[in-house]
Structure 1
Amino acid sequence: MDPLEDVKPACGSGTIQGEYDLGIHVLGLFLVLTASILGCGFPVVAKRVKWLKIPPPVFFAAKHFGTGVLIATAFVHLLPVAFASLTDPCLPDLFIVQYPAMPGVIMMGSMFCLFVIEIVSYPDEKKMQNMYEDEYARTMQDNPFMTGDEKAQSDMPAWFIVFYEQYVRQRLELVKMVQNSSPSYSASQHDHGHSHNAVENFDPENQAVDPAVYKKMSAQITILEGGILFHSVFVGITISLTIDGFIVLLIAILFHQMFEGLGLGSRIAEVPYPKKSFRPWVLVVAFGTTAPIGQAIGILARDSYDPNSAFGLIIVGVFNAISSGLLIYAALVDLLYEDFLSEHATQVMNKATKIKAFCWVLAGAAGMSIVGAFA
């Protein structure tokens, strides 16, 4: 017999030890519910309720601050918990001796699954080219750049004319929307550089959105929320099963839910849902209630559920690893890359604006990392 098995500690600490204050734990449930709803709901309400008159730079800051929060959530809150849970000495040797990198594999697997989903969901390149050619044929008569005779005499390939004129048309629409969104935008600011600087004051609510773009944005927010909701349940259970240090943990979790909710809510607010759509409110309520549901589960199961049992450790570890993979991929690829390195980002932000946005990203990551020292 392996001598390691003789000294392997037993999983589980039995039922909760100490005096359980039911009243303060129930109060904590409602405090977390309030913090979660306020954090996630504020950006959505501010965006859709115009009489609040929230300045566009506030949304700009919240959006990029939220990106940092979500990145830190994955690296500081989820991944360490996954490794700590799945490498507990009491677990079978598969996790401890034979393959301690299991949390990383699970995280990597969830990232690859998400990548495959995005590959499948992206439209075929040939279909996209045909779509642009159809659009080109419908709008050619109104094209201000080249007449039909000029196109016939042009040495440029037909596909190049199609994509170039589509690009020019979109650039003109962007500049026009920036002009309309900022009363202080003067005729002397119509050049490319100044249109970059107006991005913080740009309100995209009334712009026409391509169905494919809307579908992609909607899918991204669903993935983000899914990754967050997985771990929120276990956050709630952990709070309710804590006795020693409960107040400190509760305060940390309140900040955690406010920051995380702000990050998610700012992204929900950015999706151009129809005015009467219930979906943004459903997403807000789903985030706001998930951690409290976990708290309720923990309160009800406080005499029977042991988070330190083998079952509890494996479940928490696996779901946190899955969630971290989803959030890392979505935050880095769908948020950070799209906001700073994509062609669209190059069109709407200059270097100074990108630096300002990235400072907000760093601020969000730093704030959430500090919270991670307590929760």
Structure 2
Amino acid sequence: MSGNMEKPICGSDSSVGEYDVGLHTAGLFLVLAASAFGAGFPVAAKKIKWLKVPTKIFFACKHFGTGVLIATAFVHLLPTAWLSLSNPCLPDFFVVQYPPLPGIIMMASLFSLFVIEMWMNNKMGGHSHGGARGFEETTDTSTENITAPSLLPSRPVRSSSLSSFEVDVSNPVKEEGLAIESKEEVVVREAQVQDVESQVDPLVYKKMNMNITLLEGGILFHSVFVGITVSITIDGFVVLLIAIIFHQVFEGLGLGSRIAAVPYPKGSIRPWLLVFAFGTTAPIGQAIGLATRGAYDPNSAFGLIIVGVFNAISSGLLIYAALVDLLAEDFLSEESNHTLTTKDKKIAFMWVILGAIGMSIIGAFA
């Protein structure tokens, strides 16, 4: 920046309208409900058998959610990080001397997650993220433990993709040389499939559990700042609130579908804890915003740097997790080639694109 140009002063415009505490408090509870519903619905639908949600719904939610998470990283997090850290009011280091800083931070977080996964692979072996269909499918050949597919009767590979989400007994498979299953066989198969969770190899389960924890960690980083931003916004608050509600529902469905795909032991509270963490993080941010609305200024130098750095970190974590652990695993892995037909992949990718489009549209308002 040339010496004769005066650097602008960081800070918000003090001429904005009056702060409506009641409206912002109501917004907190609306976001809480949207977040809890988005993340909790897939988990509840799996755990609560009487809901009987069709497997096609889980299939759609899982791949729609992948698109949502990818768009969250590219449309919401990375642009925000770049805009925050390139504000001309910041010190010259951010604006003049090293403007690519957000990309460096993003790359560092991406490499960090890669190193963690590489360490996990070397230590644990196996590779599974819940199956390309959104179900618990594990194929760790390094152990002798019985895994989900081996519990099913001998039949074409694609049929073994059914899991404890729901067993499709309304459309028994007819193949040359195979008879239609009897009612007794269906009952036995359903009982076997529902017992999959207790048969998953411990190392594979541990790795899947770690993967979903890292994925959620990348999401939760920015959720706090989303909540703070909502609470301290005055002009355009209603439009922003509506956008954030859709944002939380979409993102929650994506995350919740992945949580539901992890074969947690029966009675485990861990999936509910993950749902609780996502459901409450943005509202906690809103509560912080409400409490500090007179002290915290997101357009101050401190606010811009904090938001920019954490969004850059989150974008790196989410880009790696969404592209490598979700998209590539679901469409390019050997497991997906065995469990998904070409038609299945086309339908799944359509849901990915729809999720990305939906979240990108919300990006115009939030």
Query: TM-score scaled by structure 2?
Result: 0.84
| 1:217 pairs with 2:208 | yes
Aligned letter for 1:182?
D
Instruction: Return the alpha-carbon distance in structure 2 between the equivalents of residues 259 and 133 of structure 1.
Output: 37
Instruction: Return the alpha-carbon distance in structure 2 between the equivalents of residues 175 and 104 of structure 1.
Output: 41
Instruction: Return the alpha-carbon distance in structure 2 between the equivalents of residues 25 and 325 of structure 1.
Output: 31
Deviation per CA, 1:226-255: give whole Å up to 9, x if none.
111110100011011111111000000010
Superposed displacement of residue 6, structure 1? 4.3
Instruction: Return the alpha-carbon distance in structure 1 between the equivalents of residues 98 and 271 of structure 2.
Output: 41
Which of these two proteins has the greater Rg computed from alpha carbons? Answer: 1
Change (3 A) 1:14 1:179: closer
Paired position in structure 1 for 2:304 = 313
Paired position in structure 2 for 1:147 = none
Change (3 A) 1:344 1:179: closer
Change (3 A) 1:227 1:249: same
Aligned letter for 1:92?
P
Deviation per CA, 1:251-285: give whole Å up to 9, x if none.
00010001001110111111111121111111111
Instruction: Return the alpha-carbon distance in structure 2 between the equivalents of residues 56 and 127 of structure 1.
Output: 25
Pick from 156, 179, 182 the counterpart of residue 168 of structure 2.
182
Paired position in structure 2 for 1:50 = 49
Task: Output aligned runs, 1:127-142, within 5 Å.
Answer: 135=144
Paired position in structure 1 for 2:356 = 365
Task: Output aligned runs, 1:228-267, within 5 Å.
Answer: 228-267=219-258
Instruction: Return the alpha-carbon distance in structure 1 between the equivalents of residues 177 and 350 of structure 2.
Output: 27
Task: Output aligned runs, 1:1-375, within 5 Å.
Answer: 3-4=2-3, 6-13=5-12, 17-123=16-122, 135=144, 177-178=160-161, 181-183=167-169, 184-188=171-175, 206-207=195-196, 208-375=199-366
Contact 2:126 2:203 in 1 (8 A): no
Deviation per CA, 1:98-151: give whole Å up to 9, x if none.
1110000000000000111111111369999xx96874xx99xxxxxxxxxxxx
Instruction: Return the alpha-carbon distance in structure 1 between the equivalents of residues 161 and 56 of structure 2.
Output: 14
Instruction: Return the alpha-carbon distance in structure 1 between the equivalents of residues 176 and 69 of structure 2.
Output: 35
Higher relative contact order (CA 8 A, sep 6+): 1
Superposed displacement of residue 350, structure 1? 1.1
Superposed displacement of residue 76, structure 1? 0.3
Aligned letter for 1:326?
L
Superposed displacement of residue 300, structure 1? 0.7
Contact 2:264 2:271 in 1 (8 A): yes
Instruction: Return the alpha-carbon distance in structure 1 between the equivalents of residues 54 and 126 of structure 2.
Output: 40
Deviation per CA, 1:72-101: give whole Å up to 9, x if none.
000000000000000000011111111110
Superposed displacement of residue 340, structure 1? 0.5
Instruction: Return the alpha-carbon distance in structure 2 between the equivalents of residues 182 and 306 of structure 1.
Output: 54
Superposed displacement of residue 169, structure 1? 6.6
Aligned letter for 1:264?
L
Query: TM-score scaled by structure 1?
Result: 0.82
Change (3 A) 1:90 1:126: closer
Instruction: Return the alpha-carbon distance in structure 2 between the equivalents of residues 48 and 87 of structure 1.
Output: 46
Instruction: Return the alpha-carbon distance in structure 1 between the equivalents of residues 123 and 67 of structure 2.
Output: 32
Identify the range of structure 1 (202-211 vs 267-276) with the bigger mean alpha-carbon deviation.
202-211
Instruction: Return the alpha-carbon distance in structure 2 between the equivalents of residues 102 and 204 of structure 1.
Output: 49
Instruction: Return the alpha-carbon distance in structure 1 between the equivalents of residues 97 and 5 of structure 2.
Output: 17
Contact 2:124 2:203 in 1 (8 A): no
Count residues in correspondence: 333
Contact 2:158 2:340 in 1 (8 A): no
RMSD across aligned C-alpha pairs, in angstroms? 2.9
Contact 1:16 1:303 in 2 (8 A): no
Structure 1: any 5+ residue segments left out of the alignment?
140-165, 192-201
Structure holding more helix per residue:
1
Contact 1:15 1:302 in 2 (8 A): no
Instruction: Return the alpha-carbon distance in structure 1 between the equivalents of residues 28 and 125 of structure 2.
Output: 52
